[in-house]
Structure 1
Amino acid sequence: MPLALEDRLAIAELVALHGHLVDDGCLDRLGEVFTQDVVYELADFGRDPLVGVAAVAAAAVALGDANPVAHHVTNVVVTEAGDGRARVSSKGLAVRADGSCGSVTYDDTAVRTGDGWRISRRTVSARRTPLSTPPAPGR
């Protein structure tokens, strides 16, 4: 069954909530965004995956002043994936204290839980070059 408009809106708001919680230091509320066993993939940054909400929160605390002062998310695309899941692709912008900015792509799997939609898997990929060339068909 296709995702209802209400589900699409709830998922888009879920993705947006992450930046508000992190920027406000409300790391104890990350369970409102992620499943307790979330897998947060950071291989593109040379890091092992974070597993679980507590690990995601601890990583943010460990970054300390290296954290961005603002996380912004945009270009949210939600695709129904079956079995109470949705694929979500979005763009993230991080503004640092020195005014520099970085861009990432978030590839998320959202799952319907008893508490509403939550992200069960997030892969964060850095945007380092303009106009990336997609892989050739069959590759």
Structure 2
Amino acid sequence: MTLGVEDRMAITELIGLHGHLVDDGELDRLEELFTPDVVYDATDLGHGALHGPAAVRDAARAMGEHGAVGHHVTNIILTEVSGDQVRARSKGIGTRADGTCGSVTYEDLIVRGAKGWRISRRKVAVRRRPSDRDQPSA
């Protein structure tokens, strides 16, 4: 089955909704993004693998002032796995309160269920300059 335009639009909006909910502090709406059994690999952010929307919500709240105040997603690439599963790769730019920015790559497995498309697996990979890759993380 070929992924249709409507599904592609719905998935792209799902990925974009993440930044809006987090930036607006609407963390109680994460079930609109994630499956109940989501695995959110935030190892690069210092949180390890988070299981379920509540764990993702708790980690976001724990970041407090250290988290980004603006989450922006771009360069979304969708690859169909099956009629009900899509892999998505996208770039994220986070703007911190002090004006500095960071970049991540999101690797998602997105599934279609009774409530529509939801992210069931997400790996957040922090992007570093090639010269920084040889340096130990702080």
TM-score for both structures, normalised by structure 1: 0.90
Q: Distance in 1 between matches of 2:128 and 2:46?
A: 14
Q: How many residues align?
A: 131
Give the SS at the match of 1:58: helix
Deviations, residues 44-99 of structure 1 (Å, cap 9, x unaligned): 34432000000000001111111111000000111101151000000000000000
Aligned to 1:26: 26
- Match of residue 96 from structure 1: 96
**Are residues 1:12 and 2:16 paired?**
no
Q: Distance in 2 between matches of 1:63 and 1:46?
A: 10
Q: Cα RMSD between the aligned structures?
A: 1.3
Offset at 1:3? 0.6
The 4+ residue runs of structure 1 with deviation greater than 4 A are none
SS of structure 2 residue aligned to 1:3: coil
Q: Find the aligned partners of 1:83 and 1:45 in 2 and give their Cα distance.
A: 32
**Residue 137 of structure 1: aligned partner:** none
Q: In the aligned structure 1, how far is the partner of 2:24 from the partner of 2:113?
A: 25
TM-score by length of 2: 0.91
Please, which runs of 5 or more residues in structure 1 have no aligned partner?
133-139
Q: Is residue 63 of structure 1 aligned with residue 63 of structure 2?
A: yes
How far has the Cα of 1:2 moved from its partner? 1.1
Q: Structure 1 counterpart of 2:123, which letter?
A: T
